[in-house]
Structure 1
Amino acid sequence: VNNPLNNGANIILDVVEALDNDRVINDEEQFTIQMDVKNFKPEEINVSVDKGDNCVTIQAIHNEKRGDYCYSSRSFVKKYAIPVNLIE
């Protein structure tokens, strides 16, 4: 049976995986998170460290109003575990 929804779900999954191209570098010299945030202004990005959960949270929110009836918004929240060797 040909189910177009199955193909659509696979296509969506492929797109989501392609968008998530973050790079985490964790070695003896550095712990670095690299991600594409070109669609956000610096003031729209928040980076916080939660010592209770031992994680870094990166959050970005962009809201835009165009005219009286058009409004767009995009956002993301990503959490990364802090490597054990960095936890004091």
Structure 2
Amino acid sequence: MRRIDEDEYVEIVPLAGYVENCIIDFDLADIMKDLQLQDVYINGDRTFGHALLYYGKPNCYLVVITDYTHLRVYGHHLLDLNEKYGATAAR
């Protein structure tokens, strides 16, 4: 996986509806605008991507996996770097 460059073109995969459901299901933020897009990554053959959304908890992200072949959301993962790696630095 590599970070998508600012000037690099990739197809847009609609995330809003999926992310809104994640907000409700996991109580991540009060409203959609409270989320911040941190980074977007894509794999080597440009078929899958990861969008990292910061939801207010230091070192924690909602990672939305996108399928660029079918232009759809594939799934998600709640990434807690504090738990996984013992990260303690503030965002």
**Same fold by TM-score, threshold 0.5 exceeded?**
no
**Which has the larger share of helix?**
1
**Which has the larger share of strand?**
1
The structure with the larger Rg is 1
TM value normalised by structure 1: 0.32
Structure with higher RCO (Cα < 8 A, 6+ apart): 2
TM value normalised by structure 2: 0.31
